[in-house]
Amino acid sequence: MDIPELIRKEGLRRGLSHKTIRTYRYCVRKFFNWCKKEPNEINKTDIKSYLDLMIEKGACGNTINVNLNALKFFYGNVLNRRLTINIRYSKTPKALPTVLTKEEVAMLMNSINNPKHKLMAKLMYSAGLRVSELVHLKPEHLEIENGYGWVRHGKGNKDRMFVIAESIKEELASYISKECASPDSYIFRGFSGHLTTASVRSVIKNARKNAKISKHAHPHTLRHSFSTHLIENGSSVAEVQSLLGHSSAETTM
C-alpha cells in the first residue's frame, strides 16, 4: 500500500492545498514509522498512545491536533474506516501577533535599497498578501489600471481579490514591463521559477536589522500590520476579513 500516494490523490480529489497534503503525508508516515503495524491493524488505542507520547516529548497542542487530523483524514477519507477518534487536545494559547506601527513600516521600507525587494515589501504590506501568495503572482493576475489583483489558489486553495495601492501602481507596472516576458511568467523570479519564500523572509529580516527595529518582524508581520492599520483607519472587521481571505470573522479578530 503506497500510503503517501493515496493521501495525495484523495487530498487533491477533495480540494486540499498542496501544503496540507504534504503535512498529512509527513504526519502519517511518522506515525507508521513509530507504530510498525499494518494500517488495518491500527486501533484507537494505538493513535492515543502515539499522541500521548508526543505530548510527553513536549509537542504543542497545535502539533498534536495537526497529527490527529492527518490520521483522521487517512482513515476516514482514504481507507473509509471510522476509528471514532474523538480525542481532544487543547491548542497552545495564541499570543497576539507582532504588529509594526505605521512609522516602523516606513522605516522598514526605507532600509531596503534593492528596488525589487522594496517593491515586494510594499506590495505585501499594501495588499495584505501572504509570502506564498506574493511569490506566485503573475502579470495575468493583476488589473493594475483598475487597482486590483487576484490571488489564485491561495490558502485553502481559494481565490480572492486584493487591492493594489495607488502609490505603487506606476512602479509595479514599470517593473512588470521590464522584467516579465509574458503574462503567465512569475513577477518575482528566482533561479528556477518564482522567488522562494525563504528569500523573501531573508529580505525582511535584513531590513528589520538595518532599520534597527527591535520587534521580531517577518513577512507575515506586514500582513498583520496591514489589517491592524485598516482597523485603526476605520475599516470594519467584515471588510478586513474579506481582504485577508479569512473564512470566519473569528480568525480575523
Whole-structure pTM over 0.85, yes or no?
A: no
Q: How many degrees, rounded to 5, is the angle at CA 48 between CA 47 and CA 53?
A: 100
**Widest Cα–Cα separation across the chain:** 62
Q: What is the pLDDT along the chain (253 residues), one digit of tens a residue?
A: 789 899 999 989 888 888 889 999 999 999 999 998 888 888 888 998 998 888 888 887 778 888 988 998 999 889 888 766 666 655 555 667 889 999 999 999 999 999 999 999 999 999 999 999 999 999 999 999 999 999 887 666 678 889 999 999 999 999 999 999 899 999 999 887 899 999 999 999 999 999 999 998 899 999 899 888 888 888 787 777 777 777 666 666 6
The Cα-based distances of 229 to 99, 125, 182, 238 in angstroms read 9, 10, 35, 14
Q: Which residues face 150 on adjacent strands?
A: 161
Report the alpha-carbon distance of residue 78 to residue 90 in Å, rounded. Answer: 26
